[in-house]
Amino acid sequence: MGNAQEELGTYEFMEDTNENNSDLFFNPQVEDQHVPKIGQEFESLEDAYNFYNNYAKQAGFSVRSYCQQKSKTSNEILRKEYVCYKEGVYSKEVSNGSDRRRGLVRSGCKAKIVFFKVREGTKYIISNFVEGHNHALTAPQMVHLLRSHRKISEVNKALAQRFGDVNIPTHQQFSLLEVQAGGMQNIGYTKKDLYNYKRQLQRKMKKHDA
């Protein structure tokens, strides 16, 4: 019971009046300077995404790209929408092609942000922001495992390549990097991410050899 209270302790939740959502409505408690605001400007779409993704990390959820609108003449992105990773619903369990079935993670969450390109300029502004979630948010010590917050730094990529040069197995590489970072919660990615990176590196090396 204590662990559950600790996990939800930083979030405010209340009855939801939207019939499409679940009975509980979770409102992230994030410092005001990190909370998106309508009309807030960004120099680029990359800056805009990074700001929202950082907010999501503090709030306890992951971000995914949803839809966009492009200019017919210049192909520039005029409107971009990002949503919570639990947006949408699955009508049935999703199989990955084997007997194993993936867990269902989508719950019809409505949390999202919309960025709109300023006319005749390069900046993007926040035109819409929905803050509340219809699901419990991830505890701070686990949020680094969510997809949009997992990234292998260039330093760790270089270290992994050097470890590979001296034939250290990938699982041992991850253990060494974890110790260097001061714990799994600080490393910023999972063992699977490291295996995927090593696989990509091997493909590049094969092409180079060819």
pTM: 0.70
pLDDT average, residue stretch 2-22: 37
pLDDT digits (tens, 9 = 90+) for 101-160: 555 578 899 999 999 998 877 899 999 999 999 999 999 888 888 889 888 778 888 888
pLDDT digits (tens, 9 = 90+) for 61-103: 999 999 999 998 888 999 999 999 999 887 555 555 554 555 5
* Exposed e or buried b per residue across 119-147, where buried means at least 16 C-beta atoms within 10 angstroms of its C-beta: eeeeebbbeebebbbbbbbbbeeebbebe
Beta bridge partners of 198: none
pLDDT digits (tens, 9 = 90+) for 13-64: 333 333 344 456 898 999 999 999 999 999 999 999 999 999 999 999 999 9
Burial of 201 (0-12, 13-18, 19+ CB in 10 A): middle
